[in-house]
Amino acid sequence: MTIGHATQDEKKQQPPLPRTPVSVESEVDQALWDRFAKWLPYFPRCSATSNAVLSRPRDRAVQYPYLTPCRQDFRAWLIFDIDKATPFGHWDDCGLPPPNMIVRSPESGTAHWYYAITPVYLKGRRHPIDYARAVYNAMVAKLGADPEYAGGPVSKNPFHGSWDTICLHDKQYDLSELQEYVELDGQQYGARVSSALLDDNTHSRHLWLFHATRFTAYRMVDEYYALGPRGYDAFFDRFFDIALRHNTFASRSDFGGKPNLRPSQVRAVARSIVDYCWGVAGDPVRRSRCFKNRGVMRFDGALPLSARQALAAKRTHTQKRASSETRIRAAVKAMLNAGEKLSFVAIAQAARLTRQTVAKYKAVIEHIRQVHDASTSKERQIRHPQKASLLAVPSVNFGEVKITTPFINAAYLVRSTGARPRPRIVDP
């Protein structure tokens, strides 16, 4: 086999799918192979060792024992590095569902476990990406897998002859399904807390703990409220455990060496959050007030998610534009009434918007100015009609053609009219 890097001509065209290996025998093997080949990068990293120094077309990369199984734009597998020999069925001992494939080294007994998941787009919104990372980290903790591995950059090729591969099933897991087996860290996934909010509350451990955990409770309450009265205790126990994991103030430098809160103090904070969430979940009036915009468009459930997102974004844009225009109109009218000079910067400061946003409403600003000038002129005519009528007469100095008066002397005046000019009396 010739070893060399892929040429530019090879990279310009999409390489073909690799051929089905001889080791593929059963229907499960075939289904997993088809999925594995489908989600391979076009030019994955690969090598005979785990350093992945080569880049080959996918039909040639599968001939190496190590390769990159996941693309840069999609994550279709959760891969765990089990760096110690474990018995078959170890997932049951950890309270997890079985993986799709176990790729085991015959010499050392270490293995890579492959879980097929609904592909996660890695260049889109941050929330699904963070969600997948949180589920992965929680499963790493349960399995006792290598936390530094993180699914790459290269993995054992499950269809290479160097490994003992066991294909268990071809089911594709959804992340929400895997989440049922693990406990997600609240700050890592459930709590979308801005760093600014937490930084502003480092003066109080109670406030910091409150803001760091309450968003997780907002997401959890519906699941437990559906269980009825017995769901309250289960909800509190689970949330209290999350709050305890955030009680690490003694090891944080931004709290100035303050000790951790006592368990009773953490329990008090958790109890206040749980009581509030439980009350909102059970009160339709309070719930509608807290989530007044959720479901306001009343979409048909059969409408695709992309179409619903597009329509919702259009509605949001329309409302934001109407709100900005209202604020700009009020600011312009106030400035004109005060006799201030109009400019984009001044209007932006008065309306509390950016200058770029105000510049998009130039036609609206000009219309308001014209209406104001017209109303001011009409008001002047009502208050001072004589002055207004004089001002309305155009000046001859600004005419297009100016006709000068000819010079008429006294002799011409006598001959033409017979009138004599009056003598001018000069006082001696």
Distance CA 159, CA 18 (A): 11
Residue 55 DSSP SS3 = strand
Q: What is the pLDDT of residue 102?
A: 94
Residues in the chain: 428
Distance CA 216, CA 134 (A): 13
Q: Name residue 164's beta-bridge partners.
A: 104
* Average pLDDT of adjacent 10-residue blocks, the chain of 428 residues: 45 69 81 91 88 85 90 91 87 91 91 93 82 88 84 84 91 88 63 69 89 84 84 90 86 83 94 91 67 61 71 84 91 90 91 90 91 77 57 54 58 58 54
Residue type, 332: V
Query: What's 295's DSSP letter?
Result: T
Q: How many whole angstroms from its chain centre is CA 413?
A: 92
